[in-house]
Structure 1
Amino acid sequence: MKFAKYLCKFDRGDKWLIYNAYTNKAIIINKELFNVPEMIDDNVLNSLKKDFFILPDSFNELEIIRQILSKKIHDKFSVVYIPTFKCNLKCDYCYQQYNNYHNENSISYYDVVKWIANNISINTKEVNIQFYGGEPLLEKELIFNFLDKLGVEIGKEKLCICMCTNGFYLTKEFLFTLERKCRISEIQLTVHDFDKNPNNYHMTVIKNIREIILENKWILTLKFDINCENGNKILDFLLLLNIKVGYSITIAPILDCGSHSAIKLCEEDNMAIILDIQRQLIDMDYKVNKRNSYICHLLINPDAFVIDPQGYIYKCDSMAGTKEFAIGSIREYKVNSSLINLKETYLLDLWNQPDECFECDVMPMCMGNCRYRNKFNSRNAKVCYREMIKSQLLEEIEKKDRYYHYYRERST
């Protein structure tokens, strides 16, 4: 028998605090016993085996992960639909400024509808559409027409959407019209560059946010793209908003992606900034989202695709608009069977990782990280989330431990 490979260990003097990503459980164990599991008491040993901390010597953890991902049946069909690459803002770090065919003719939204209808299976229970850009709300009428037609083709009850927008055109009137056509799962409003955009941008966005919050109808996430220069401006924006309820906050780094990013920053710098801002916001009673998974859902889900305005298909929204990364076109792939090779190719990419990834203790929570960031990192080094994952894990474990002791003391 052996301790599992993919356990996150945190030093506690003569003990290890160990987190198991498979079972979402944590234990504290003497380091001496961790090195010689045969010395562990039988009752404790059986409990560790039950919770997959200890495994048979022949147990191949990597192969089990491979089998789970390759055989998993998804009952959701997901499409990130980019109706336009145009945008009303001019953020320095936007990857879309580098896409190479803005002037090509857009494909009809009806062609996208037909492609989705042809490729969902009888087992599909939900079709999830995420509108992305550019700024998708520059094409409001297209979005309405697309959803009307898709609802007719597949059934309105299956249709669920997420809207990713910079918020300038996101009015409550638009959302009322939208929800008559389909179920809205989430609105992600990304608050963008604080220095390069029109002066009225943030005040207009704040006005829209306040009106949406007052309706108390929709799940709203405010996403802030940050670097070492604008972190404090997030707090200024939230003070202007002057509302702490009705939404959650996600902090995301602006990464060093070579020619695909105008701002040269490294991942490690951003991790420290993100963690610091998260702690400040939590201390101020804001609801802050922490990533539960660093695995790209577009990559591991064989039924998740990105479609751009020209009808090209991708497995990564960050690569949309760069034709050499397209895996096909909806003009070419009309029926479900023709997508099989595309799905298999991208599932295989999960296993095309450096050896150090497969030996890493957070590998099941990361699977090698973002392919886009790894490809375009100008430092020619793999982008690694290990330290951020472990820092956030430790914070969550310690917080739950404090809550446990607090309520235990109150109950006695």
Structure 2
Amino acid sequence: MSGLLIDAEACVGCGRCVRACASGGIVVTGERPNRCAHVTDSCILCGSCVDACPVGALSIERDKTQTDIDLSSYRDIWVFAQTNSTGAVLPVAFELLGRARELAAQRECRVVAVLGEASDVDDAAANALVAHGADEVLRCQDDRLEANDPSVFAHWICALAREYRPEVILYGATDFGRELAPGIAVRLQTGLTADCTVLEIDEKTGLLHQTRPAFGGNLMATIMCPAHRPQMATVRPGIFCAPEADANRTGKVTDVELDAAVASHVRVVEHIPADSQASIAEAKRLLVLGRGIGSKKNLPVMRRLAELLGAEIGCTRPLVEAGWLEYRHQVGQTGVSVAPELLISLGVSGAIQHLAGISGAQTVVAVNEDADAPIFNAAQYAVVGDCVEVAQRLIAQLEAR
């Protein structure tokens, strides 16, 4: 059992451990000479008190890790392929397959898609996964998987992972993926990095570097999982570009079973259709507006430009908070991640969390009055100027065609 250990005989009750602890995980009680430190339920085993103790009275005992297991026995990169109510694979799975192929080329391993679906369905989903880059599809066709019960999926994927030993498992950061992945991480006693925007392989160690915004998007944190397997991460839709489907690709489809003892705890009572409006994550062209447009009164100009371009409208967080546009338009780490073919950014400064949300865009055109705006670092085409004036000139040219 892991925990903070206190040598009562060595402890002098100086209180330095208390001052070093930021979580209230340790207290000092009693009168001298019996004054001594004690652990509270708030201890998070960060080790700050251990470093602060001048007499070495504190130590941390951690649960046995997987370091005694041959990590080289873990191989291949898995992608969890979530499907929708009609049985079609969600686009984020294809996006992850594209990135997984690049990572697998560095690791010289295979890409495996994990597909759970109802029984007696055709091979369309499995074939689509192969066409988008999977070398093998581990498929389970079982009606217990139809209700998208994360507990059932977790039992199934954990059993597969223990048998096949994947080195990496990637999940789409959908509502379901965000519920499923932590349950698998707990059962497999491994790490999980949520909402990654960058996935890279370290050439020296072979570890997966999982990068995500941290501290409210003010910096980017790169996280590694050196002692446990599989390495796991969730990635928001729109971060990576999906590869084109290749109908000539060949791959293996392996049918696997779900333990007969696993029972679903979910009963579907009713299906209520979601908002029929298309998500901006699916837009091929996107016009993203920032505070630089100046006023809500300028929105009709922007909507006219979007109409002429055949584009959807997105925006930054301040415009949503000001009530100018609805949340579904918000682009960025706290909104929707997008990967359009063309993104035109008007009056957006380019905060780090916003840039993380547009990293999948193929071509970015940015307009801003500030020549040093961070958005220009992500743009292929930069225009320094008033975004409303630029929009009006573009409208005039497009209408003249």
**Greater share of strand:** 2
Q: 1 or 2 for the larger relative contact order (CA 8 Å, sep ≥6)? A: 1
**Greater share of helix:** 1
* TM class by smaller structure: under 0.3
Q: When the two structures are superposed, what TM-score results if normalisation uses the length of structure 2?
A: 0.25
